[in-house]
Structure 1
Amino acid sequence: MSSPLRYNISDVRLTYDGPCEPYEMEKDIVADFNSRHHSVLDLYKIELEKGTIYTLDDSVNGRSNLGVFRSKQLREAVILAAALPAAAVVIDGYDSLRKLPKSEHTPETINKLKRYNDRRAAQIMSEVLQATTESVELGDEVVIESIITEGLRLKPGVETGGNPTIPVGALFGKKEHVKYYGRELRSEITKLSMGSDVIEGTTKSVKGLHSSLTSLFVTESYFKRHIPDIYVERWMAGSMFPEFNPRNVDVREGARAIAELCGIKDFSEMSAFFLNRPRHEKAMNSLNAMGIATPFDNDGDLFPAVVMGMDGLHFPDGRGLDCMVGEIGGSAEWVVGALPLIWRGGQSLGALSSQSSLSRKDLSPEELWKERFHYTEEELILFQDARFEQKPFFVLEDIMDNPFAGGISAFCSISDNYYLPQLKGVAIDEERGLITTNTLMVNSLGNIKHWQLTFRCVEGFEVTVEKMKSPKHKLCGQDRSVIEKEIAKMAGNLLDRFKLRQFFVNEYYPAIVHTTGKLALLNQTIDAMIERKTLNKNDRMIVDSVLKILPEWFVSMT
């Protein structure tokens, strides 16, 4: 159905004319920043050259405080954990498909390039977090546990899954703290939880398209359960609305309720965002018939939630980016986008949907919509394992102990962001050795700030490029003897060993169980992933070599 109320956000652009108060970091502030984050910045031989912080909203929700994030090092580290991975992807990996001949633009090639970008982003993000937690002073010590992520051992339906990411169960902290995490960790060591989508819009990142970004949050809140990595139907708005069961509500009823609570008096003033997928056709038709605009994007539905309902953000016809009404996307994206939305005073309701049913190619759009809650046995087992069998719909309070515990979220643009236009993509000046990043920060107070940071490559651009590479670049395509030799060299160098550990966990997490600071490796799972073509024989040689050369990393499985 063609409708003037349905448009691609790349064709009908959002603009922002709300508050944007700049604060330019003075030289002594820049020097302090470099001193605080020396352990991170030195990994890549960079330092902060200059920075400007734009305040978009300094209102306070009155429901939170920063908690442990009163520490500048910790809260700024979250921004670096978004900014530096984005820089790494733009340095090598962004728009990579365009460099290949058209004949090679196959799904297999695209997936390979996506894995490459995910690998780089996950590598740098985890290095920043680990280097920070290792260097914090007494009194500020923390252990960060990855709780919410896009990574899963296997995805239901047609998706292969297993792309490099920061996986559930990964821990960041000093060795002596990680070893006792969950058992005898001293009370003065703060436990933090994190969620991430190391690249939101990975396909965009390899095709050179708009609005790809890195994303994460870190919070003091304990997570009561982990959402299965499958589809979630989202009902989200920039204003609070009461919880309801989406299975009992038609999209038109939901839209009416959200409009009333958001103070929208006429549907001609309202928009509801969707991913451009056949499964959304029926819902979009229903909303268009009511006069509600349904802007859409071809990839990426996390960031719209972050800025949803933001004052000063609007389409050319004056409509804001108001809500999602039955939009269906990934579970990690729901959580990572929902938390900053809640901090800003909005609401986010999710309902587990059948990824297997919605991945079917033999169903019409109308049939896909009808089948969205028809689960497979595999999905029902996932629901039960995550304790969602009694209530497959939820708000953040069902998942988190306290959403308003101290926390920070950060989103750094890889490419120009079409949802918040001032978030330009990473800019590289190779000749001068400068890298400029633009990161949106939302904290648990409800503050929204845009951090524009320019880093200087201290030893030259090429040195920084080399420092940001994944250890895998030395191992791909090599025979077993060369791989063993390279890994032995890495194991003998403190920095290379540090980077190898992060790579190994992020790459092979579907076959890893974390326990007492060590890794339990599931060899049969490695074989299954090779059979499924998520991994290959080169990966088997890498795994075998790491097991042989670094046995102290692993628990015995015999």
Structure 2
Amino acid sequence: MAFDKDRILEYNHRHHAVLGNYDLQLESCQIQTLCDRINSKSNLGALRNRKIRQSVVLSAALSAVAVGLHGRGSLNDIPKDKQTSDVSNNLKSANDRTAAQIMAEVLQTTTDTLLVGEEVLIESRITEGVRIKPGLEAGGNPTIAVGAAFGKEEHRALYGLRTPKSVTLLSMGNDVIDGTGKSIKGTHSSLTALFLTEANIKRHLPDIYVQRWLSGVAFEEFNPGETSVTEAAEIISYAYGLSGVDKLSAYFLDRPRHYPAMDALNKAGMFTPFDKDGDLLPAVILGLEGLKFADGRGLHSMIGEIGGSAEWAVGVLPLVWRGGQAIGMLTSQSSLTRKDLSPEDLWNERFHFTEEEFMLITDARFERKSYFTIYDIIDNPFAGGISAFGAITDNYFVPFMDGVRGDPEKNKISVNVLVVNSLGMVECWQMIFNCRQSLDHTLELMISPKEELENLTEGNLEKAIAGMLQDANLRRRFQIFFNNEYYPVLIPVRDKMILLHKAIGGLI
């Protein structure tokens, strides 16, 4: 379906505040429907409001645009002998920062401009960022952290108290970039990701690794702690109606911890496609008809694959909307990031938790949950919801999802967004925006405030920040940057922030 002239005018009017922030207007939009089967379990709820629903797509799209044109392939500009881990991590943080900035700005601008009776208050409830991660993986990367709220100022001030009945509370999940390493290398299948749901998030997933068993169809629930990977494969194969496990595929990240499981499944005749980075989108599209590998097999499942908790939740909710199913088990990030263990030892030690991890598990009320499903995280997964995934780079799994393209001569930007809603519908939005002044000007409006400030001396830095705080739009941008960047030392309390002075030294 292509937007006609009237629909484009309507779209630009509906989102004029957001598009005006970046001097953009929509020029064309083609929606390709990948699945139109309705699950009959949802009615979209508050997401029936087109402006709110489309803002999620726009948030994924513009955050992908910002990274795609300012940060994609940034590692390639560094000489090979200078490409250290610290350099890579700084570049990944820069891309996360850019994506989080734009994603948050779109949501805040949208909620600020909703009419009375349509208003919503959005709280980020599931996300990748934590203060310090167990094990070797660095924490504190820029993100839209748990507790971040988007809505009109008077509603944010009342959050947790009695908000007006006309204001709908929405929960947000996000992984601002899935495949951040790919984004700095410019390689395939890096994307922005978020969802909104009217459902309540019952438990906060600790930001440690989750082992997952996922399928594009519903399967008989089993206890994965008492089920081998080959037995799990048989259960999922049966649910698909396949003649045997040799017809089934199971996706993995290419990590040593997965080699024992992959070897066992390969020995049973299964196909185990893998990738270096990014396991969120594969979860979303498991079992989607029409998407096949070169040998004709589809992407069916994940069986024992271990990845981030945010990726589990952000990928599983749209999978369940589509009719799929997922089981998860918390695993030890400390053990799985050790460099002194063999693949077999990593696999065997995956449930060897540290005291710190046990405290995280207990705080999140998972100590008595040997395994969990989406129903243990979200009270009603089929409450109104929508998820969107903006392609920063060309996508391998959905080949017609090209990465962001910018044409500085014509001042045009193209971006593709995969959209799944709580009805179970799957679409690809292929959007082209026109930069009203120039592409360079649009990018200037998208860069993080940190890039404008980081090279200033102390006196000039204070003056520049003071100047930003005097302008309403720049003040809002700076506040979003500050929250996304320094959340490890910030505790949101209603409309105020508590600053952890003893912790801030570790960030500066």
What's the TM-score once normalised by structure 1's chain length?
A: 0.90
- Contact preservation (8 Å) 1:37, 1:73: yes
Offset of residue 244 of structure 1: 2.5
- Contact preservation (8 Å) 1:237, 1:308: yes
- Is 1:287 aligned to 2:265, yes or no? yes
AA partner of residue 218 (structure 1): L
Per-residue CA distance 1:382-405 (angstroms, 9 max, x = gap)? 000000011141100001010000
Offset of residue 474 of structure 1: 1.7
Aligned to 1:207: 185
Q: Aligned with 1:350: secondary structure?
A: strand
- Contact preservation (8 Å) 1:231, 1:354: yes
Aligned to 2:170: 192
- Contact preservation (8 Å) 1:211, 1:419: yes
Aligned to 1:255: 233
Corresponding residue to 1:50 among 24, 28, 37: 28
Structure 1 segment 243-392 matched on structure 2, within 5 A: 243-392=221-370
Per-residue CA distance 1:359-411 (angstroms, 9 max, x = gap)? 11111101110000111100000000000011141100001010000000000
Aligned to 1:439: 417
- Is 1:521 aligned to 2:499, yes or no? yes
Offset of residue 315 of structure 1: 1.4
AA partner of residue 172 (structure 1): F
Offset of residue 243 of structure 1: 2.8
Aligned to 1:421: 399
Tell me how far apart the structure 1 counterparts of residues 148 and 397 of structure 2 sit (CA, whole Å): 31
Cα RMSD, aligned residues only: 0.8
Corresponding residue to 2:476 among 498, 501, 505: 498
Aligned to 2:74: 96
Aligned to 1:20: none
Q: Aligned with 1:394: secondary structure?
A: coil
Per-residue CA distance 1:39-98 (angstroms, 9 max, x = gap)? 100000001011111111111001111111111100000001100010001111000111
Q: Aligned with 1:97: secondary structure?
A: helix
- Is 1:488 aligned to 2:466, yes or no? yes
- Contact preservation (8 Å) 1:114, 1:203: yes
- Is 1:30 aligned to 2:8, yes or no? yes
Offset of residue 265 of structure 1: 1.0
Tell me how far apart the structure 2 counterparts of residues 317 and 453 of structure 1 sit (CA, whole Å): 31
Give unpaired runs (5+ residues) of structure 1. Answer: 1-22, 530-534, 537-558
AA partner of residue 417 (structure 1): N
- Contact preservation (8 Å) 2:116, 2:166: no
Structure 1 segment 455-494 matched on structure 2, within 5 A: 455-494=433-472
Tell me how far apart the structure 2 counterparts of residues 220 and 284 of structure 1 sit (CA, whole Å): 37
Offset of residue 113 of structure 1: 0.3
Tell me how far apart the structure 2 counterparts of residues 378 and 396 of structure 1 sit (CA, whole Å): 25
Q: Aligned with 2:173: secondary structure?
A: strand
Offset of residue 267 of structure 1: 2.5
- Contact preservation (8 Å) 1:269, 1:318: no
- Contact preservation (8 Å) 2:238, 2:244: no
Aligned to 1:152: 130
- Contact preservation (8 Å) 1:243, 1:395: no
Aligned to 1:410: 388
Tell me how far apart the structure 2 counterparts of residues 516 and 345 of structure 1 sit (CA, whole Å): 37
AA partner of residue 90 (structure 1): G
Aligned to 1:3: none
- Is 1:60 aligned to 2:38, yes or no? yes
- Contact preservation (8 Å) 2:406, 2:439: no
Tell me how far apart the structure 1 counterparts of residues 427 and 468 of structure 2 sit (CA, whole Å): 39
Aligned to 1:117: 95
Corresponding residue to 1:219 among 185, 193, 197: 197
Offset of residue 442 of structure 1: 0.2
Offset of residue 175 of structure 1: 0.3
Offset of residue 323 of structure 1: 0.2
Tell me how far apart the structure 1 counterparts of residues 195 and 140 of structure 2 sit (CA, whole Å): 21
Tell me how far apart the structure 2 counterparts of residues 73 and 224 of structure 1 sit (CA, whole Å): 27
Matched-pair identity in %: 54
AA partner of residue 92 (structure 1): H
Tell me how far apart the structure 2 counterparts of residues 226 and 494 of structure 1 sit (CA, whole Å): 33
- Contact preservation (8 Å) 1:383, 1:392: no
Moved over 2 A (4+): 242-245
Offset of residue 463 of structure 1: 1.2
Aligned to 1:454: 432
Aligned to 2:112: 134
What's the TM-score once normalised by structure 2's chain length?
A: 0.99
Give unpaired runs (5+ residues) of structure 2. Answer: none
Residues 196-205 or 469-478, more deviating: 469-478
Per-residue CA distance 1:278-335 (angstroms, 9 max, x = gap)? 0000000000000000000000000001110011111122211000000000000000
